[in-house]
Chains A and B, each alone.
Chain A
Amino acid sequence: MKANSPVERLYNGIYKENPTFVLMLGMCPTLAVTTSAVNGLGMGLTTAAILAMSNMIIALLRKVIPDKVRVPAYIVIIASFVTIVQFLLEGFIPSLYDSLGLYIPLIVVNCIILGRAEAYANKNTVVASLFDGIGMGLGFTVGLTCIGIIRELLGAGQIFGFQVMPAAYEPITIFVLAPGAFFVLAFLVALMNKFQIGAARRGTDKEKVGGCSKDGCANCTNHTCGGKIFDITE
């Protein structure tokens, strides 16, 4: 696949650099809105739309915006799109607007969006940035929907609102409450670490799997704690 072609960008966002499972960006919405599969899907698609549009506009303006004020400029662009999308949701899909609530305006501070603006859109062409945004957004959607499905299945015995578990199944309500979000994500990441350890053992190089560095977030090379965003804004 050719680098920066639309197909390569989509593959990169959805699979290779999946924002939820590989880069681990945007943890707040990942945990907060995934109480059901529908909410996860809705949040994912909303973020994807904003990410695609902001990436496109930022790529379009990348030669106009002075380097020194680029971060505030990006934030204004992103916040404008978030406001637009918020009103569209309120007008056309009020049920989703009600269930996502506060987390729609908080998309502004989702590190995926500013992260992609810094890492990709300000160096690349408009079309490539648009597809990068769509790919990353869809990858985020896949991650959120997965977590949403697991939580809804365990916590309510349903998937997308349809009853799938037999009536004898007693729903484990804690999985749709706040602690369940932490547990599901912990097990998913542990599962991924397990595969990575296996892969590292087979390979020549033992990849280090672990938490943050001692100096805290800013010097963190592990993407789990938002260190990435500081890395690139430096």
Chain B
Amino acid sequence: MNLLLIGISAALINNVVLSQFLGLCPFLGVSKKIETAAGMGGALTFVLTLSSLVTSAIYKFILTPLNMEYLQTIVFILVIAALVQFVEMFLKKCMVSLYNSLGLYLPLITTNCAVLGIALINVQKSYGILEGTVNGFSTAVGFTIAIVIMAGLREKMEYNDVPKAFQGFPIVLLTAGLMAIAFFGFSGLK
């Protein structure tokens, strides 16, 4: 029950992009087409679940026993960067079909602040390993929902007559703002 609550809260109520502003760069940059948006969402789900698992385990079994919690930021960012590299190499060698669909997005994920953000939130809320992993997974699901909806809207927007000054970035931001209002409705679920 508790895990379900964490999941719903991370995916819908505190949506990572629309209410916490993490991972905005890919959200605005890779949301032109539904397929690419879904690919980005899939790659992020994969990496974020794995990185939440690894960072919570490192925090619990290495940093806490050694009283080195203050090094969390440095350790997490290095672990995430290394992990993304490993995932990329592993997929390239062992799962070529998955690599072909996700590989393009993997390097983009290292600079996605959602990955580091979730690792830090897991520590802040003192989630255990299982709770942390669920939090990471559902956050990524929330990201995928948001980016796919955004891509769908942007595909429709191609045919609209947008004022010149609002073309490109501003109209996307306005759309994101309206989506954020819509996602506000989920806070009633609490």
Contacts and interface: CB of A to CB of B under 8 A. Distances in A.
Contact of B77 (A27, A79, A197): A79
B113 A106 contact: yes
Contact of B21 (A178, A193, A209, A226): A178
Contact of B170 (A29, A180, A193): A193
Interface of B: 18-26, 28-30, 32, 36, 70-74, 77-78, 81, 104, 107-108, 111-113, 116-117, 120-121, 124, 163-174, 176-178, 180-181, 184
B167 A72 contact: no
Contact of B174 (A31, A75, A182, A230): A182
Interface string A141-179: 000000000000000000000000000000000100111
A197 B73 contact: no
5 contacts: A27-B21, A28-B24, A108-B77, A109-B113, A227-B29
Nearest to A223: B169
B181 to A, nearest CB: 5
Given A83-B71, A106-B116, A106-B120, A179 B181 contact: yes
A117 interface: no
Contact of B74 (A83, A214, A217): A83
Contact of A75 (B23, B29, B77): B77
Interface in A206-222: 209-212, 214, 216-218, 220, 222
B177 A182 contact: yes
A216 B81 contact: no
B96 to A, nearest CB: 21
A20 interface: no
Nearest 5 pairs of A and B residues by beta carbon: A225-B29, A182-B177, A211-B168, A186-B173, A217-B29
Given A179-B184, A182-B180, A218-B108, A224 B168 contact: yes
A119 to B, nearest CB: 15
Given A111-B111, A189-B169, A220-B29, 9 more contacts: A31-B21, A75-B77, A83-B73, A209-B167, A210-B167, A216-B108, A218-B107, A225-B28, A226-B25
A92 interface: no
Interface of A: 24, 27-29, 31-32, 72, 75-76, 79-80, 82-83, 86-87, 102, 105-106, 108-111, 114, 174, 177-183, 185-187, 189-191, 193-194, 197, 209-212, 214, 216-218, 220, 222, 224-227, 229-230
Contacts of B26: 217
Given A27-B24, A106-B116, A220-B29, A189 B170 contact: yes
A49 B26 CA distance: 27
Contacts of A220: 29
B21 A109 contact: no
B145 to A, nearest CB: 16
Contacts of B166: 186, 190, 193
B79 to A, nearest CB: 11
B112 to A, nearest CB: 8
Given A183-B177, A210-B167, A224 B30 contact: no
A29 B77 CA distance: 18
Contacts of A29: 21
A75 B71 contact: no
Nearest to B117: A106
B25 A211 contact: no
A4 to B, nearest CB: 28
